[in-house]
Chains A and B, each alone.
Chain A
Amino acid sequence: MNWNSLQKIDIRVWYVLLVLSLFIPLLKPLGLPLSISKDAKTVYDTVEAIKPGSVVIVSPSYSPGTEAEMWPQHAAIVQHLIRKKAKIIQVSLDLSSVMYAERAWKTYGPQNNLKYGEDHVIMPYKAGLDVVIAAMGRDLKALYTEDYYGTSCASLPLMQSISGIKDVALVIDFMPGNTLVDYLRQIESVYHIPVTGGVTGVCIPTMMPYVQSGQCRGLLGGMRGGAEYELLINSPGAAIGGMDAQSLSHVLVIVAIVLGNIGYLASRQKGGGGK
């Protein structure tokens, strides 16, 4: 057998196998086990510790591209907050994220008999990322004078019940970028409001220094983080459903790497340059 050819398999073959490895488990789940990580448990415990009636800022900062990883985390945490009878203010730092804030409200608000304006408020998108977060800390009510639907915040009981960031019990951010770091910098370190949240899988190492120092109270990482949280709140959703697909696709990538290396080593033995 020409082992060298193992590193020259047409990439389209791998693409087809990838599609199959993602598609098949979605049709027929494998039921693979999933343990809960310490960091996900810490996020859960942080939310669990808040008192009923506490005001929590939830900040979805993601766009449609990262929805697969971030929405399950967002949805699971909103469900948990509703169970804890927290009052939620959703703020949006990305152009598209306000749509996810609205989706979370429409999916879980009415079914739990929540009243918009009293239990839940959605704020409009504001450009500026860290500038907006800093302004949130300095004067939340001056920053948001109207909600997403154009209603004056002065007429919303939830906004009337707080004077500023100091009345917020917890900030939860869902970021594919750096907004969680900005919240830690501008809110946690300045006003000492607890901050936690979720990130995409690639951002986990970036956030680890903040988690290990205790600045960030735990972390949900990628789709797995969402799946772990769904298990913790006993509400299986999209993340748990997607984990089997992710498992098989990871195995496929490993197989590709192994075969590529067998081909490479074979070509080196033959004296060829290899790729």
Chain B
Amino acid sequence: MVLTQLPIFVTMFVGIVVLLDFWIKQDGLILLSRELMNWGVIISAFATGLGGANLLRIHMKKLQAQKRDAFYSIVLLTALIGYTLIGVLLRSTHPWYVYIFNNALQPLSATVFSFNAFFMLSAAYRAFKVRTAQATVLLVSAILVMLGSVGIGEVIYAGMPAVKSWIQNVGTTAGFRGVTIGTALGAIGLSLRVILGIERTQFGGSGTGGGD
């Protein structure tokens, strides 16, 4: 009973304290709220350590079982343990740390991120078809925004950046404002249910507690 109810109580307590801190100026409340938020940051840091431990466990298991892709587990473990030790023992200002960041992490990240360009092209080629009136509007506005974003659009028509700005600042922004309002209300509703212990999925239980 205690094990199932305690997390719900903790969630409720922390949620209500931080919520009240948003509106009420009271020294004790401010101190408590800040302390709880600091604990949140500390828990996140421990969770990162837990994640690292999980990675170690999974890949050590793969190595022991000598699975097909065990070589890649060796690569991962070497990078994980090696870079962590360099950061912890030598600090992130050490030339080795900076060298690995600039010559391994940064190019790899940029390369993977650049997949977006290729995937965008294939998605546009496949999905941007004039199937319906709405799809046609989407297609035309996408083309206008793409042309307005780059120099070649200004060569075609000097007013293209203004067209692009209008589409982005008026059409798209209006749509996003509506989505943002709806999202904010949805987030409030869900957060309220989580704080009050009505939504309990995160504890592995059924979706709603006895909140009705």
Interface residues of A (CB under 8 A from B): 7, 9, 11, 14-15, 18, 22, 30, 32-35, 37-38, 63-68, 96, 98-99, 102, 127-128, 131, 134-135, 138, 148-150, 201, 204-206, 208-209, 212, 222, 224, 243-244, 246-254, 256-257, 259-261, 264-265, 274-275
| A131 adjacent to B40 (CB under 8 Å) | yes
Cβ of B143 < 8 Å from any Cβ of A? yes
Residues of the B chain whose Cβ atoms lie less than 8 Å from the Cβ of A38: 165
Interface residues of B in 167-212 (CB under 8 A from A): 168-169, 172-173, 176-177, 180
CA distance A274 to B127 in the complex (A): 12
A265 proximity list for chain B (CB < 8 A)? 130
Q: Is the CB of B152 within 8 A of A250?
A: yes
- Kindly state the separation between the CA atoms of A65 and B105 in the bound complex, as whole angstroms: 10
CB distance from B103 to the nearest CB of A (A): 11
Neighbour of B101 across the interface among A99, A138, A257, CB < 8 A: A99
Checking A11, A66, A259 against B122 with a beta-carbon cut-off of 8 angstroms, the contacting residue is: A11
Known contacts A127-B41, A205-B176, A257-B124, A65 near B151 by CB under 8 Å: no
Cβ-based interface call for B117 (8 A): yes
**Residue B11 at the chain A interface, CB threshold 8 Å:** no
**When the two chains form the complex, which single residue of A18, A209, A253, A259 contacts B176, counting CB atoms closer than 8 Å?**
A209
The answer to the question of B109 belonging to the interface, with a C-beta cut-off of 8 Å to chain A, is: yes
Q: Interface majority SS on B: helix, strand, loop or mixed?
A: helix
Q: Is the CB of A224 within 8 A of B129?
A: no
With A212-B173, A224-B150, A253-B120: A64-B109 Cβ-Cβ less than 8 Å: yes
Q: Given A65-B109, A66-B113, does the pair A15, B150 have CB atoms closer than 8 Å?
A: no
Residue contact A32 to B154, C-beta cutoff 8 Å: yes
What are the 6 tightest A-B residue pairs by CB atom distance, in nearest-first order?
A32-B151, A65-B113, A64-B109, A247-B150, A208-B173, A247-B152
Chain B, 98-121, contact with A by CB distance < 8 Å: what is the 0/1 string? 100110011111101100011011
Closest to A252 in B: B121
Among candidates B98, B129, B151, residue contacting A243 with C-beta atoms closer than 8 Å? B151
Q: Is the CB of B129 within 8 A of A249?
A: no
Whether A15 contacts B121 by the Cβ 8 Å rule is yes
Instruction: Select one of A64, A128, A243, A260 contacting B126, CB under 8 A.
Output: A260
Return chain B residues, CB-CB under 8 Å to A30: 151
Docked complex Cα distance between A157 and B39 (Å): 31
Query: Mind listing 6 A-B residue pairs with CB under 8 Å?
Result: A37-B165, A222-B149, A253-B124, A254-B143, A265-B130, A275-B129
CB pair B117–A249 under 8 Å, yes or no, is yes
Residues of A within 8 A of B133 (CB): none
Quick check: is B8 within 8 A (CB to CB) of the other chain? no
A3 to B126, CA, bound (A): 16
- Asked if A32 contacts B129 (CB within 8 A), the reply is no
CB distance from A129 to the nearest CB of B (A): 10
Question: Contact at A274–B129, with CB atoms within 8 Å?
Answer: yes
Contacts of B126 in A (CB 8 A): 260, 275
CA A238 to CA B151, docked complex, whole Å = 15
Known interface pairs A34-B151, A244-B151. Does A257 touch B128 (Cβ–Cβ under 8 Å)?
A: yes
Residues of A within 8 A of B117 (CB): 18, 22, 249
Look across to chain B and name the residue whose beta carbon is closest to the beta carbon of A243. Answer: B151
CA distance A264 to B95 in the complex (A): 55
